[in-house]
């Protein structure tokens, strides 16, 4: 998210921030629904600062763009449109999902996985944290049907494990066994169903998977289904 203030034409601000369609926006402005720095804006073309703007007397939400941590519940998919499944976007407010560009998740969690997801409208942040070259650490708590063999720790750390139908070995991953059927695993990449497939390669079926951390950011006490505004610094220490 850029620290530089971006000005928007009043009508474009309304449509870009999800208040109304482009066609409706000029009449919203002309009817006096927009004010900036305390004064009513009546010219749809006037360029205004979203962080100083109110619509119908309520300050514009996410004036500098969206970046939130979200606690994904089990049972929701991360795609925008997934047939009959409920999507995580059903759980977000219209002020977040009506925007242009649309918000998206930084990577995805499976429908049956819970935990920390990052949601943003900033494509540069998506790239910064999900590009395979960036190696942002992600921590998961995993439960398996079978006892987890202690040898998994060394196998996962070796950087030599090749998953079925792949040719490139997984990057070294840190597995800490926390109980007979439970472990914490830290990955620095995000392959398709990676945790489940790594454990399956050792004869273990994952029955529960929960992400607790991305970079420096921990899920902490954020209640399930809720979100909170964060900054890039919270994730990787860089503004
Ligand atoms: N690994 C998985 O198998 N599933 C997820 O949702 C995330 C990581």
Phi and psi, residue 95, nearest 5°: -65, -20
Task: Choose the residue to mutate in 75, 105, 109 for probing ligand 1, maximizing ligand atoms within 8 Å of C-beta.
Answer: 109
Task: Write down the domain spans for the chain.
Answer: 8-59, 67-131+224-236, 137-214
* Ligand 1 atom showing the smallest separation from residue 197 Cα: 3
Cα torsion 202, 206, 209, 214 to 10°: value is 20
Does the domain at 137-214 match CATH 3.40.190.10? Answer given as: no
Give the burial string for 167-205 (b: 16+ CB within 10 Å, else e).
Answer: eeebeebebebeeebebbbebebbeeebbbbbbebbebe
* Ligand 1 atom showing the smallest separation from residue 138 Cα: 8
Decide: 139 in ligand 1 pocket, CB within 6 A: no
67-131+224-236 and 137-214 share one CATH topology? yes
Looking at residue 3, its pLDDT comes to: 57
CATH architecture of 8-59: Roll (3.10)
Asked whether 10 and 34 are in contact (CB, 8 A), the reply is yes
Return per-residue pLDDT of the chain as tens, 239 residues.
555 689 999 999 999 999 999 999 999 999 999 999 999 999 999 999 999 999 999 999 999 999 999 999 999 999 987 688 899 999 999 999 999 999 999 999 999 999 999 999 999 999 999 988 889 999 999 999 999 999 999 999 999 999 999 999 999 999 999 999 999 999 999 999 999 999 999 999 999 999 999 999 999 999 999 999 999 999 999 99
- For 34, 50, 65, the CA distances from 11, given in Å and listed in that order, are 9, 12, 17
Decide: 113 in ligand 1 pocket, CB within 6 A: yes
Best CATH choice for the domain 67-131+224-236 from the list 3.40.50.300, 3.30.1130.10, 3.30.70.580, 1.10.10.10: 3.30.70.580
The residue whose C-alpha atom lies closest to atom 3 belonging to ligand 1 is: 193
Looking at residue 1, its pLDDT comes to: 54
pTM: 0.94
């Amino acid at each position: 998210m850029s620290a530089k203030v971006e000005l928007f034409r009043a009508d474009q601000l309304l449509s870009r921030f999800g208040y109304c369609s482009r066609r409706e926006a000029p009449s919203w402005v002309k009817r006096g629904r927009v004010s900036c720095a305390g004064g009513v804006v009546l010219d749809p073309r006037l360029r205004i600062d979203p962080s100083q703007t109110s619509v119908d007397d309520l300050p514009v939400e996410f004036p500098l763009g969206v970046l939130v941590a979200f606690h994904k519940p089990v049972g929701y998919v991360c795609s925008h449109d997934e047939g009959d499944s409920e999507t995580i976007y059903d759980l977000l407010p219209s002020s977040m999902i009506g925007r242009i560009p649309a918000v998206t998740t930084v990577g995805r969690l499976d429908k049956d996985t819970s935990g920390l997801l990052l949601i943003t409208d900033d494509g540069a942040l998506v790239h910064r944290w999900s590009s395979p070259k960036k190696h942002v650490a992600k921590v998961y708590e995993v439960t398996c049907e079978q006892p987890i063999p202690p040898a998994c720790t060394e196998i996962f750390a070796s950087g030599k494990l090749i998953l079925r139908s792949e040719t490139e070995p997984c990057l070294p991953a840190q597995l800490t066994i926390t109980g007979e059927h439970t472990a914490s695993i830290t990955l620095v990449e995000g392959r398709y169903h990676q945790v489940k497939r790594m454990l399956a390669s050792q004869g273990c079926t994952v029955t529960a998977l929960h992400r607790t951390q991305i970079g420096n950011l921990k899920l902490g006490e954020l209640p399930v289904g809720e979100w909170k505004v964060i900054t890039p610094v919270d994730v990787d220490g860089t503004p």
